[in-house]
Amino acid sequence: MSDVRELAARAEKLDAADELAPLRSRFVLDDVVYLDGNSLGALPANVPGRIEDVVRRQWGELRIRSWDESGWWTAPERIGDRIAPLVGAAPGQIVVGDSTSVNVLKALVGGVRLARLAQGPGRDEIVVDATTFPTDGYIAQSAARLTGCTLRPVTPAQVPGVLGERTAAVLLNHVDYRTGRLHDLPGLTAAVHAVGAIAVWDLCHSAGALPVGLDEHGVDLAVGCTYKYLNGGPGSPAYLYVRQDVQDRFDSPLPGWNSHADPFGMRPDFEPAAGALRGRVGTPDILSMLALEAALEVWEDVDVAAVRAKSLALTDFFLECVTSYVPDGLVESLTPAAHGERGSQVALRCSPKLSTSFEQGGTPIAGAVMKRLIERGVVGDFRHPDVLRFGFTPLYVGFGDAERAARVLGEELR
């Protein structure tokens, strides 16, 4: 009981001193502890009104005039410039549209073409993170077939040792989706460049949670989703980053009329648009895109470094509370303790000891545990069969939330 009182009191003090705490009011929230922002971010409070205007006035009244008068046509690059400072990029290098998977294909095939243009046709190998989110692996397999490359899956730690004169492009995740491990973007990018290859990064689990530094570290190409820490809404469009000095050589495998230098010329021959615009393909998904634009307004005047500091403090505190509240040996943290190796989620592996109490009818242990937590107002998610995931979005998650989540977890496991 003394541990509960002490940790709850500390949480209250930490929340009172939190400079980001006022941002919570910018979201639609209730008394549930929402720790699943690493899968779907909470709804920013200004989005419903904005979408009503888009539907009723822009579409309902202005109709086709809104492509010009409401700025629909320029939305992909305009919203890209809103995302740019959150991932450490200057304007003019990010275009929004399509899904993460589609953008991975653009980036990976485009990356192979860039490498061959600079280094010659002997670049016939794609290196991919063997622990990556499955879709990235599927897309990498397809990109290898499309480009005639051999695919080489390795862990991020093994990447420097397999790079060589055959390496064309390397696809890596900034943060591991299962464990929350943060990979060394600066060091791995430098290693890729040292052999003349192209570095492609997936930022789905880092953008909006920590500084990325795309320009600073010379990343060639990057992709990311917007429905996690950027809170863009379910299925909101992804984005593609094309570094300024490779834009004139970037050859997308998906040229469309929206990426044409003269889109309304309707010419049979393709001439790519200048800059990052050549990463566009077809007509933008305006409703989702403008919902995302409204959602990104919550980031105005927010320092990403402050977000990172709070993220680390939150996950530190949560892990401390788990240690205090959960009986020894029932869960094990898969998330690195070192700050330099941690994203903004905590992954806990359930012990087989819990199977008797929680595993029923083929339901995995982690699924059964998470179901109990959700019933008690603590929402996270799980990965089959035994990993509990808790995502900490610093814009709206507080230290009281972290303490309550760990306490409920401890009570259920006891």
Active site residue 227: yes
Which entry of 27, 34, 227, 325 is annotated as an active-site residue? Answer: 227
Active site residue 202: yes
d(C-alpha 280, C-alpha 293), whole Å: 17
Question: Across-strand partners of 333?
Answer: 348
Neighbours of 324 (CB within 10 A): 15
Which entry of 82, 116, 123, 228 is annotated as an active-site residue? Answer: 228
Q: Residue type for 161, please?
A: G
Nearest Cα neighbor of 405 from 316, 346, 318, 320 is 318
List the alpha helices (DSSP H) in 93-177. Answer: 100-119, 134-147, 159-162
Active site residue 241: no
d(C-alpha 54, C-alpha 143), whole Å: 37
Which entry of 106, 278, 310, 389 is annotated as an active-site residue? Answer: 389
d(C-alpha 99, C-alpha 159), whole Å: 26
Helix (H) or strand (E) holding 316: helix 304-325
Instruction: Decide the pairing of beta strands 239-242 and 221-224.
Output: antiparallel
Q: Are 281 and 97 in contact (CB under 8 A)?
A: yes
Which entry of 36, 98, 136, 202 is annotated as an active-site residue? Answer: 202
Q: Are 174 and 185 in contact (CB under 8 A)?
A: yes
Which entry of 26, 34, 116, 133 is annotated as an active-site residue? Answer: 133
Active site residue 389: yes
d(C-alpha 185, C-alpha 206), whole Å: 11
DSSP per residue, 249-293? G---SS--GGGBSSTTT--SS--BPSGGGGG--S---HHHHHHHH
Catalytic residues: 133, 202, 227-228, 389
